[in-house]
Structure 1
Amino acid sequence: MADQQPGFTIPREKYYIAIAEIIIFSVVQIVQVTMKFLQEWRYWHHSKRKSYARCFLYSWFGLLGLLAQIRVAGSAIVIANSQPDQSLLIAETVLQSVGLSPLLFEVSLVLLRSGQSGQSGPGNSRHPKYMRFLLHSFRIPVLISIVLVVVGGIIDIRACTDAGTAVFVVTFVFIYGLIGWLALRVRPVLPPNGYHCVLVVLMTLPFLAVRVAYFLLGQYGSEKFSPVTGSGGVMVGMSLVMEIFIVILLLLARAVAEPFLPMREVEAESVA
């Protein structure tokens, strides 16, 4: 993360982008909370007793909701401080970097839900055990890599940032291959809704690739790729628009795997 000179002022275009992000991701939070609450209530997959409070808690802290909260917080920093000091610049850059992990975690969870399509109750996935293990486990190196990048940026240790970036790239390539392989292999195993969910997640990969490229260019590219001080047009095209498409597709994938059916129809499908 490049050091900024004293008196640096955030470009005016970034101010307007920040306002747009607050509006967009506030809407994302409302939509995902509503959808996830209905799905949690109708397809309760947890061992704890179902309740409205637990459904709301799981919904509010859904990973797309976490992304929305991170984006709103980062944009609020931009709006509140047109001439931020170094610590605020680092905070905003960190929030931009951390936002990738909720998207990849949500990919993992949506694919796991594809194996439970049309079912309610815990432990009824149609995915084989090794596939469930892979879908769970790739979140660990994603988390480790993001932590290394963030810590390396905060304490200015380039080796830490480089190690985190390398782990992230390797993990993303693995995720890319895993989703493609899953789409080819699971059709005989999953019900139509579950398989269609996997195909929708597959559609997110090009947008995720662009978003990851922006993350890497922010670390190693020119100043115009900086999420805080770089080009507003590049940020909108490679980050904001990509995240909007990814969020829409992941919400759609969840809706395909767990459609909003009346409870009696869900129970009938579970019995069948």
Structure 2
Amino acid sequence: MTASIVSRGADALISPGRRNIAIAEIVLFSIIHLTQIPLRYMQEWRYWHHNKRQSHGRCYFYSWWSMVGILAQVRIAGSAIMLSTSEPNKSMLIAESAMQNAGLSPLLFEVSLVLLACGQSGKFGPGKSSYPKPLRFALHGFRFPIVIAIVLAIVGGIVEISALGEAGSVLLIVTFAFVCGLVVWLAVNSRSTLPVEGHRGVLLVLLALPFLLIRIVYFLLLEYGPPKFNPVTGGVGTLAAMGLLMEIFVVILLLTARAVAMPIWSANLKQNIEACDADAEGL
């Protein structure tokens, strides 16, 4: 995938429109990153579902390196590469294209993590979830084929082995279909097992899936579509509509879903945490 994009973008100048998109990406994802850090920090500090000892440093680490944070940093870095020169060489094109494609992984990982957070809605402390163990395993497990699919697609493009890219694309489609089915099943069946906040979070994740589908279609069109889908020299409108805007919509919905499932404004939050701490001390 990456090699085909590079070959189609070789010896081409980056258009002013593409540079404007890069500037917009830096601005928007900087805002997203700076917004999600304090929100995620407060959620980590107030709920803390990890087995490690709670500390401010760990809360800050988890907030900075959240999946949304990683996506934002990848997008900022890729756009910075795009703005660094108007005549990029092959190495720069490969790096920018790889970052563009790899950005799907944090988005799909965040779907998994937000759904797991919905299962922990209303619960405090490590290891507590309303989901049965097989469901938690499924929500954790679909991240692995996502990583394999993205890596196959990128590596297949770099080494110019089409079979690897095709295998990665097929695996990505199959895994995303599984994720969609899983989220639909959760949306239908979790009403009776999750708190209201958790179920609303699942519904928000479900609402994000159509936008994520468009982003995945764009990912596939980068490889198999016409030259207008080239992220470097292709149509600016296509990149903005199917790439940037879809990612922004998905990120906003996932951040909202996590905020709904793990509210930091809950009136009973302090009492619940104190009760959880008392139970832990009693053990």
Same fold (TM over 0.5): yes
Aligned to 1:176, the other structure's residue is in SS state helix
Task: Provide the aligned C-alpha RMSD in A.
Answer: 1.4
Equivalent residue runs for 1:1-16 within 5 Å:
1-2=4-5, 3-4=7-8, 7-16=11-20
1:144-197: CA deviation from partner (whole Å, max 9, x where unpaired): 000101111111111111111111111011111111111111111101111111
TM-score, scaled relative to structure 2: 0.93
Which of 61, 64, 68 is equivalent to 1:60? Answer: 64
Secondary structure of 1:50's counterpart equals coil
Name the residue aligned to 1:90.
94
| Residues 1:108 and 1:41: Cα distance change in structure 2 (over 3 Å) | same
User: What residue in structure 1 maps to residue 151 of structure 2?
Assistant: 147
Following superposition, the deviation at residue 6 of structure 1 comes to 5.3
- Give SS of 2:174's match: helix
Question: 2:35 — aligned with what?
Answer: 31
Structure 2 residue 162 is matched with structure 1 residue 161: no
Structure 2 residue aligned with 1:81, among 60, 69, 85?
85
Instruction: Kindly report which structure 2 residues correspond to 1:52-201, keeping only aligned pairs within 5 A, or say none.
Output: 52-201=56-205
- Which amino acid is the alignment partner of residue 175 of structure 1? V
CA contact (8 A) 2:112 2:139 kept: yes
The one of 221, 225, 228 equivalent to 1:221 is 225
Match of 1:259 in 2: 263
* Contact persistence 1:10–1:229 (CA under 8 A): yes
Cα deviation per residue 1:174-227 (whole Å; 9 max; x = unaligned)? 111111111111111101111111001110011011101111111100011112
Q: CA deviation at 1:4?
A: 4.0
Partner of residue 233 from structure 1, selected from 227, 234, 237: 237
Q: C-alpha separation between the residues in 2 aligned to 1:7 and 1:128?
A: 55
**178-187 or 2-11, which moves further after superposition?**
2-11
| Identical amino acids, percent of aligned pairs | 51
Q: 1:44 to 1:12 in 2, by over 3 A?
A: same
Stretches of 4+ moved more than 2 A in 1? 4-7, 267-272
Which amino acid is the alignment partner of residue 250 of structure 1? L
Unaligned runs of 5+ in 2: 277-283
1:225-248 CA distances to partner (integer Å, 9 max, x unpaired)?
112221110000001111111010
Q: What is the rounded CA distance, in whole Å, between the counterparts of 1:82 and 1:62 in structure 2?
A: 32
How far does residue 95 in structure 1 lie from its aligned partner after superposition? 0.5
Give the partner amino acid of 1:268. Answer: Q
CA distance in 2, matches of 1:57, 1:48: 13
SS in 2 for 1:125: coil
Whole-angstrom distance in 1 between the partners of 2:20 and 2:143:
33
- Give the Å deviation of 1:47: 1.1
CA change 1:5–1:131 in 2 (3 A) is: closer
Which deviates the most, 157-166 or 104-113?
157-166
Asked if the contact 2:26–2:76 (Cα under 8 Å) also holds between the matched residues in 1, the reply is yes
Provide the aligned length of Structure 1 versus Structure 2. Answer: 271
**Amino acid corresponding to residue 209 of structure 2 in structure 1:** L
Q: 1:11 deviation in Å? A: 1.1
Give the alignment of 1:40-55 within 5 angstroms.
40-55=44-59
Contact 1:113 1:254 in 2 (8 A): yes
- Counterparts of 1:261 and 1:32 in 2: how far apart (Å)? 16
